Structure 1
Amino acid sequence: MAGRLYGVGLGPGDPDLVTVKAARLIAEADVVAYHAARHGRSNARAIAAAYLREGQIEEPLIYPVTTESTDHPGGYQGAIDEFYADSAERLAAHLDAGRDVVVLAEGDPLFYGSYMHMHKRLAHRYEATVVPGVTSVSAASAVLGRPLMERDEVLTVLPGTLPPDELAARLAGTDSAAIMKLGRTFEGVRQALETAGRLDDAWYVERATTDRERHARLADVDPATVPYFSLALLPSPAATAFATPQAGTRAPGPGAVTVIGLGPAGREWLTPEAQAALAEADDVVGYGPYVNRVPANPRQHRHASDNRVEAERAAFALDLAKRGRRVAVVSSGDPGVFAMAAAVLEVSEDPQWKDVPVRIVPGLTAAQAVASRAGAPLGHDFCIMSLSDRLKPWDVIATRLTAAAGADMVIALYNPASQSRKEQLVRARDLLLEHRDPQTPVVVGRDVGGPEESVRITTLGDLDPATIDMRCLLIIGSSQTRAVNRGDGSTQVFTPRHYPA
């Protein structure tokens, strides 16, 4: 008896938005299939991971091409058609053997989903059930808090791949719209919205409901930052009731600046105190990627800037507060550790801002986050240093690094390398090896808490500076730091709380 095919919608990204039926079918399936790019990572599998069980057969369906060129004789479309045909036959082999197959689909399986290509090729041969999921359009509307349509209004869903002139004509003839498939099409979509006279009403939503969610007015978005998993939304015209306050409106009560630590990554790293402070703000000020981590609120104004203008950013925030605004200045990690708290307090010494209250709300540091993933390498005395010589000369860094190494302290190194700073870590490693055994444990944490998190344990002798970039944090052990292999095959690093007499 042949197996049954299921196209299972997983919703827009939050695993909690997977339906009860979808979760049950995933757990019961003999075979779980999912589409993935050539790097092998699958958003669909990541969403469904909590519902998978041991012993299931996984079938990653890896696209041969995405946006790049191909030497397939049929061109791009020929390569994709051949891929879908081969994938369908791989699934058919399981179905013929009596195995039930669940094909995971982000959002809804039949709403711009890859599952539809399996359904077209297999549903006439086998029993097939489609389990709907929450679409990205619904998720975008929800995170913006803006209705899609009301009463007799018409919603139109459009692909951003349409020529800008045709897209503009369709936008001019509808009440509400969702424009899918952004990424490389973003500038054409923006042009179409402007031509249709709808740009001021348009919103941008990226990876809705995930920890990488970002949303803002579309006119304010940098095209270079737009991924494929994003959309443009023209909400219901009736949503003008939700309009952003006009610039220059004053918040009730006196203004103030609150410098807030967002922690090292997603919302789960944010403290309740920080959440409350963000909720009270009229304006959010900070380096662009950090501002993007704060959920957009139409009531608030967002002011993103480059990472090299800390003093200007601080002055701007203080000036807003002087005019009666409640301003949140956001930093990754803790704002008092190589971040905006010192910059704001330094600039606030200027007499023109002496009456502006400044409050600091702490956050979980990157050093703490990396240490927790590795074990307890900061269990005894430690110091934190930045290897960046942008704000202090290398001679000072070398002197402090030598002193910390000579004192046998664990050292957490921030900003170890960047595209323009490669030699500093090489020189730092050489200095440390003058005081530390080459077998000293080293923890390398990258993007901890983020989607590309990696933590690896190496030694000072084996540390390769070429593998380190700006998103890494290093923890260099002391003479007492130990790396212990656990029964499950993992390695944990800790520094004992006692020190030999």
Structure 2
Amino acid sequence: MTVRAVRVIAEADVIAYHSARHGRSIARSIAAEHLRADHIEEPLVYPVTTGTTDHPGGYQGAMEEFYAESAARLAVHLDAGRTVAVIAEGDPLFYGSYMHMHKRLAGRYPTEVIPGVTSVSAAAARLGTPLVEGEEVLTILPGTLPEEELTARLASADSAVVMKLGRTFPTVRRAIERAGRLADARYVERATMSGERTGALADVDPDSVPYFSVAVLPSRIGAVPVPVPGDAGVPSNSGETNKTGQVVVVGTGPAGPLWLTPETRGELAAAEDLVGYTTYLDRVPVRPGQLRHGSDNKVESERAEFALDLARRGRRVAVVSGGDPGVFAMATAVLEVASRAPYEDVPVRVLPGVTAANAAAALAGAPLGHDYAVLSLSDRLKPWEVIAERLHAAAAADLVLALYNPGSRSRTWQVGKARELLLEHRAPDTPVVLGRDVGGAEQSVRIVRLADLDPAQVDMRTILLVGSSQTVTVRRGDGRQIVWTPRRYPEKPLAESPSPENSPKAAN
């Protein structure tokens, strides 16, 4: 307890505290030595905790009625001029029951809230483990969240504390394990109180877990990775090299943190080594103890082999790609190398990301609302003849087209040639979306007619979305122009049916 809290209790006329039906109150037991015989005590006994209720409003209705009645009881003392101290374990406004009194009474009576030590801080102190360091972010979650939600948030967290365990513990444990954090998860029960227990969360018996316990995922920075011996750029160390390594190929989306999935964010934080094209690595926050291996964008196979070599030596490696790693990106390169000796046994996973086509389409409206084809205009890895043939086929099938890698400093004629091929199948006013640097500082999204597509306005940071014969361009009331492709395609007219007298059935 803080010195201020002790003084306030000493000066109060009334001491109020919440408890279950058994009448025992943790808050009262903590403050017991400071209570006087002449204190008026107001136990606020919950009508329901873990059981059921026959209240017509259900659990929520029963609790709302309880809080209203409790506030009315305290108001009687306040109206009589008495000072009321509502005591609460932890901090009164941090998942505390007092907040329900505060919302009902603070606007009517002079109120002071005395901050307390939260169970989060107490648990960290008992574990003797840093919760967060540097620029890490602490995530605090109630264990009552659905398992999928818990898993997603834990996967993306730097460090985390899950509260309100008890009956939720099995769900919380599964979520932590699914998020890949069970090995470093810690358990704290009744921190700083009698009956305190701490240990590895994986070793805890679910049937022994009370409500007043927390799961702690401490700072990742404390787990300094063991360097791999014998690598340039990786310090030599005679430590552990027999642990199982792995490679995870992740996509950063079109730009940065706003486009990351929770799973990807978690893997980037957990990796010991980051491998990738320098431009994409720059999108990933720098973490102490994490090694970064940047390279040029034209050495994909070498980059994949380097990452797999690190994993063979026991490292946890994230290969960083832009957009979605499986769309014209690093997943193919890694899997191709991983399919050969000596890498066949290295664990490799690919995590999805937001690809440029979907990102640009969302900004423009819904041009990919119907069937569409994805093509790369780069002839660095396949001949232009193949590209032209596929453009003809997709255009003839009246598919919307998402065209990646349309141009660069060394490729300046492909966009003009593609426009000529497409105009053989599409009307001149077919809408084309030019999405450049989507999600980045220089983001721009423009809509032009296919006939007006200017190759000089297209570079390697641009993606082209070419509409079908059904794609619509509309200017909305706010002046914004949007593009969308209907989900329903018009039916072709049915061939003229034979007359009854000429039908085979009539002839018989």
Length-normalised TM-score, structure 2 = 0.51
Whole-angstrom CA distance in 1 between matches of 2:393 and 2:409: 27
The aligned amino acid for 1:446 is: R
Whole-angstrom CA distance in 2 between matches of 1:142 and 1:445: 36
Whole-angstrom CA distance in 2 between matches of 1:252 and 1:328: 19
Counterpart of 2:433 in structure 1 is 443
Is the contact made by 1:144 and 1:296 (CA closer than 8 Å) also made in structure 2?
no
- After superposition, give the CA deviation of every residue in 1:305-357 in whole Å (9 maximum; x if it has no partner): 00000000000001110110011001000000000000000011112001101
- RCO higher in 1 or 2 (8 Å CA, sep ≥ 6)? 1
Counterpart of 2:335 in structure 1 is 345
Q: Give 1:292 deviation, angstroms.
A: 1.1
Residues 1:378 and 2:368 aligned together: yes
Counterpart of 1:254 in structure 2 is 244
Whole-angstrom CA distance in 2 between matches of 1:340 and 1:319: 16
- Counterpart pick for 2:489 among 480, 496, 499: 499
Counterpart of 2:381 in structure 1 is 391
Counterpart of 1:313 in structure 2 is 303
Residues 1:334 and 2:324 aligned together: yes
- After superposition, give the CA deviation of every residue in 1:41-92 in whole Å (9 maximum; x if it has no partner): xxxxxxxxxxxxxxxxxxxxxxxxxxxxxxxxxxxxxxxxxxxxxxxxxxxx
Paired residue secondary structure (2:336): helix
- Counterpart pick for 1:419 among 409, 412, 419: 409
Is the contact made by 1:242 and 1:298 (CA closer than 8 Å) also made in structure 2?
no
Is the contact made by 1:440 and 1:481 (CA closer than 8 Å) also made in structure 2?
yes
Residues 1:355 and 2:339 aligned together: no
Is the contact made by 2:242 and 2:313 (CA closer than 8 Å) also made in structure 1?
no
Counterpart of 2:285 in structure 1 is 295
The aligned amino acid for 2:293 is: H
Seen in structure 2, the aligned counterparts of structure 1 residues 242 and 335 have a Cα distance that, compared at 3 Å, is closer
Seen in structure 2, the aligned counterparts of structure 1 residues 318 and 295 have a Cα distance that, compared at 3 Å, is same
Rg (Cα) greater in structure: 2
Whole-angstrom CA distance in 1 between matches of 2:454 and 2:248: 40
Whole-angstrom CA distance in 2 between matches of 1:264 and 1:410: 21
Is the contact made by 2:256 and 2:284 (CA closer than 8 Å) also made in structure 1?
no
Counterpart of 2:192 in structure 1 is none
Counterpart of 1:285 in structure 2 is 275
Whole-angstrom CA distance in 2 between matches of 1:251 and 1:289: 30
Counterpart of 1:468 in structure 2 is 458
Counterpart of 1:164 in structure 2 is none
Is the contact made by 2:241 and 2:313 (CA closer than 8 Å) also made in structure 1?
no
Alignment RMSD, CA only?
Answer: 2.0
Whole-angstrom CA distance in 2 between matches of 1:274 and 1:365: 14
Whole-angstrom CA distance in 2 between matches of 1:144 and 1:498: 48
- After superposition, give the CA deviation of every residue in 1:212-247 in whole Å (9 maximum; x if it has no partner): xxxxxxxxxxxxxxxxxxxxxxxxxxxx99988652
Whole-angstrom CA distance in 2 between matches of 1:453 and 1:401: 27
The aligned amino acid for 1:335 is: P
- Identity among equivalent positions (%) equals 61
Counterpart of 1:477 in structure 2 is 467
Is the contact made by 2:225 and 2:272 (CA closer than 8 Å) also made in structure 1?
no
Whole-angstrom CA distance in 2 between matches of 1:419 and 1:460: 22
- Counterpart pick for 1:275 among 265, 288, 292: 265
- After superposition, give the CA deviation of every residue in 1:442-478 in whole Å (9 maximum; x if it has no partner): 0000001000000011110111111111100000000
Q: Give 1:279 deviation, angstroms.
A: 1.5
Whole-angstrom CA distance in 1 between matches of 2:441 and 2:397: 36
Counterpart of 2:397 in structure 1 is 407
Paired residue secondary structure (2:375): strand
The aligned amino acid for 1:304 is: G
- After superposition, give the CA deviation of every residue in 1:83-137 in whole Å (9 maximum; x if it has no partner): xxxxxxxxxxxxxxxxxxxxxxxxxxxxxxxxxxxxxxxxxxxxxxxxxxxxxxx
Residues 1:366 and 2:387 aligned together: no
Is the contact made by 2:408 and 2:460 (CA closer than 8 Å) also made in structure 1?
yes
Whole-angstrom CA distance in 1 between matches of 2:329 and 2:225: 29
Whole-angstrom CA distance in 1 between matches of 2:241 and 2:258: 29
Matches within 5 A, 1:3-402: 143=135, 246=227, 247-248=235-236, 250=240, 253-402=243-392
Is the contact made by 1:371 and 1:377 (CA closer than 8 Å) also made in structure 2?
yes
Whole-angstrom CA distance in 2 between matches of 1:317 and 1:248: 17
Structure 2: where are the runs of 5+ without partners?
Answer: 1-132, 138-220, 228-234, 492-508
Whole-angstrom CA distance in 2 between matches of 1:469 and 1:297: 33
The aligned amino acid for 1:416 is: P
Seen in structure 2, the aligned counterparts of structure 1 residues 383 and 374 have a Cα distance that, compared at 3 Å, is same
Q: Give 1:255 deviation, angstroms.
A: 0.3
Q: Give 1:253 deviation, angstroms.
A: 3.5
The aligned amino acid for 1:271 is: T
Seen in structure 2, the aligned counterparts of structure 1 residues 480 and 280 have a Cα distance that, compared at 3 Å, is same
The aligned amino acid for 1:269 is: W
Is the contact made by 1:251 and 1:282 (CA closer than 8 Å) also made in structure 2?
no
Whole-angstrom CA distance in 1 between matches of 2:369 and 2:463: 17
Structure 1: where are the runs of 5+ without partners?
Answer: 1-140, 146-239
The aligned amino acid for 2:329 is: A
Paired residue secondary structure (2:342): helix
- After superposition, give the CA deviation of every residue in 1:250-283 in whole Å (9 maximum; x if it has no partner): 5784101000011111201100010111111110
Is the contact made by 1:244 and 1:298 (CA closer than 8 Å) also made in structure 2?
no
Whole-angstrom CA distance in 2 between matches of 1:404 and 1:242: 51
Is the contact made by 2:369 and 2:484 (CA closer than 8 Å) also made in structure 1?
yes
Counterpart of 1:158 in structure 2 is none
Is the contact made by 1:251 and 1:326 (CA closer than 8 Å) also made in structure 2?
no
The aligned amino acid for 1:442 is: V
Whole-angstrom CA distance in 1 between matches of 2:242 and 2:340: 25
Residues 1:486 and 2:476 aligned together: yes
The aligned amino acid for 1:492 is: I
Question: Post-superposition, which runs of at least 4 consecutive aligned residues in structure 1 deviate over 2 A?
Answer: 141-145, 240-253
Whole-angstrom CA distance in 1 between matches of 2:405 and 2:342: 33
Is the contact made by 1:263 and 1:332 (CA closer than 8 Å) also made in structure 2?
yes
Residues 1:457 and 2:447 aligned together: yes
Counterpart of 2:156 in structure 1 is none
Is the contact made by 1:262 and 1:334 (CA closer than 8 Å) also made in structure 2?
yes
Whole-angstrom CA distance in 2 between matches of 1:279 and 1:455: 32
